[in-house]
Amino acid sequence: MLIDATTLDSGATIGGDVCIIGAGAAGITLGIELAALGFDVVILESGGHDEDAATQDLAAGSSIGQPATTLDSPVRLDQMRLRYLGGTTNHWAGFCRPLSPVDFEVRDHLAVSGWPFGPDELAPYMRRAAEWVRITDDDFSLDRWEVKLGMQAPAIRSDRLEPFVYQLTFPTKFGRVYRPEIDATPNLRVYLNANTVNMATADGRQVSHLDVRTLGGVSLRAEATAYVLAAGGIENPRLLLASTDNDPAGLGNANDLVGRYFTEHLQVYAGFGLLEADPADVAGLNGAEVTIETGRHAGETHGAKFALGLTDHHVRDAETTGLELQLLQSAFPEGAPLQESGATMSDVGELLGRTGTTPGTAVYLQGLAEQELDPESRVILGSATDALGMRRVELDWQYSAADRRRALDGYRIVAEEFGASGLGRVQLVPGGIHADAIDNLVPGEFVSIYSSSPDEIDENNFPVGMGFHHMCTTRMAASPSDGVVDPDCRMHEVENLWVAGSSVFATGGTATPTYTLVALAARLADHLTAVLR
């Protein structure tokens, strides 16, 4: 059931068994699962049915660290997440794949790493999450998808680089897709235009109630047995830091970890490749549509395609971080940075032509690289306030020269493996295509990396974009000295408060996060069921 909070009397108390803050992918999954089990569930959602400028402005803030950009232009904090029913799934791209086993492991070469459990713990929930995000299922094995798509994965099989499968939901906007179910469920009450501005507590150990406000001035009080923060990877720490009833440092922040370890996927245009294979053999890079055969979305379609990633074996052996790469065939993506004025698409064609063979299939290489967790990369509160009087976010995103170097090492491996497999040749141009690349091309050379001349690359300055995946800001860890939530996603310091979303990720890996965060929300539904019963 959907209720517009602006129609309620100021001063009213609302509540249920569980009160969830935020109706995005995590909140909607958790809310519907708990309601189906008979619990009385309330979701407080900041926005309404559609985007609204005044509500969206509540997400504004400033970026004070590494620039938050797409690959070529700055992105404001209020552009990178959405505040209305369905949250940021209203503009996600729908790429789904699970984390790799290595992402869960402690890697001694990194300052901070490791989840408190392995992938087996999440396996049953990945099955449930597949249904929530509307993909075929949780089986991502290569053989199976080669048959299903009738297409080959790129013929690269080495210790260092391997193909993998992406399933793409034709973006499941959680608000639109699940609205009929919300409408039809009386014990799930989703309050729209209901902003949580404070998690009230007397002692810092228990949340007593939530202070909720609409932009029009209605004040409400929400009470529940269990509270779940599911407001996204930036707003989750913001609300904890802003809830200062018991401690000026915020709720659950005695160890000063809330908001730290803000982690992203470093997005890099790596260059381009010329595939010498028969175009039909690399059609799997573009993928195709498939139909979901079973479950509540049977008959609906989604996409699937192949991409490439460093193997877990290599990440362990070379003591590095993960990297994945999409090969965007033929078409160059909108906004692909042609960094220096004058480089045009036909220049690129010429560049490819001059590499020595008749151009076969041109691919643009676009990668996501894992970054090492850094406590100085963080969400903090600034002095500016929003229309509800809440302090706005200052995002201090940091990544290191070592992160860049590891990404570059990964791209070099991609280039070498392309050549070794006979698949084609790669020109690495980290950050985008340079106008002078044409003049500096070394014909017939298999790999050359340059910024302005073939031997010269400024490893510290190639452009890096943000994946908009906002992870680890309320990191999960077995010990309160290492993280904000415990392995059940409960706040270490607050007994009746849990957190859902990618803020609980213990490391970021390279996989896009939503499929995994939905699995964690399904797991939290089971955990809360046990707690509440």
| Contact residues for ligand FAD, defined by CB under 6 A | 21-27, 44-47, 80-81, 83-84, 87-89, 91-95, 195-196, 230-232, 235, 239, 468-469, 501-502, 512-515, 517
Strand 2-4 relative to strand 188-192, pairing: parallel
| Nearest-approach distance from CB 169 to ligand FAD, in angstroms | 9
* Beta carbons of 310 and 410 less than 8 angstroms apart: yes
**70 vs 355, beta carbon nearer ligand FAD:** 70
* Beta carbons of 345 and 83 less than 8 angstroms apart: no
Instruction: Describe the chain by its helix, strand, coil percentages, rounded to 5.
Output: 25, 25, 50
User: In angstroms, rounded to a whole number, what is the distance separating the alpha carbons of residues 177 and 404?
Assistant: 39
Residue among 515, 523, 519, 464 at smallest CA distance from 92 = 515
Question: How many other CB atoms sit within 10 Å of the CB of residue 75?
Answer: 15
**314 vs 475, beta carbon nearer ligand FAD:** 475
* Identity of residue 44: L
Backbone angles phi, psi at 250, to 5 degrees: 110, 175
> Cα 109 from chain centroid?
24
**235 vs 417, beta carbon nearer ligand FAD:** 235
Q: Determine the straight-line distance between the first and last CA of the chain, rounded to whole angstroms.
A: 24
Residue nearest to ligand FAD (CB): 24
Angle between helices 174-183 and 25-36 (to 10 degrees): 20
| Nearest-approach distance from CB 218 to ligand FAD, in angstroms | 14
**12 vs 420, beta carbon nearer ligand FAD:** 12
| Nearest-approach distance from CB 58 to ligand FAD, in angstroms | 7
User: In angstroms, rounded to a whole number, what is the distance separating the alpha carbons of residues 338 and 321?
Assistant: 28
**263 vs 355, beta carbon nearer ligand FAD:** 263
| Nearest-approach distance from CB 462 to ligand FAD, in angstroms | 22
User: In angstroms, rounded to a whole number, what is the distance separating the alpha carbons of residues 365 and 367?
Assistant: 7
**95 vs 364, beta carbon nearer ligand FAD:** 95
Count of CA atoms in the C-beta half-sphere (13 A) of 73? 6
H or E element, residue 378: strand 378-385
| Nearest-approach distance from CB 282 to ligand FAD, in angstroms | 22
Q: What angle do CA 32, 38, 39 make, to 5 degrees?
A: 75
**343 vs 491, beta carbon nearer ligand FAD:** 491
| Nearest-approach distance from CB 278 to ligand FAD, in angstroms | 29
| Nearest-approach distance from CB 421 to ligand FAD, in angstroms | 27
| Nearest-approach distance from CB 510 to ligand FAD, in angstroms | 11
**272 vs 468, beta carbon nearer ligand FAD:** 468
Q: At which residue do the structure tokens 């004070």 appear? A: 64
Backbone angles phi, psi at 104, to 5 degrees: -85, -15
| Nearest-approach distance from CB 482 to ligand FAD, in angstroms | 22
**252 vs 424, beta carbon nearer ligand FAD:** 252
**231 vs 351, beta carbon nearer ligand FAD:** 231
| Nearest-approach distance from CB 191 to ligand FAD, in angstroms | 9
> Cα 241 from chain centroid?
22
User: In angstroms, rounded to a whole number, what is the distance separating the alpha carbons of residues 161 and 324?
Assistant: 9
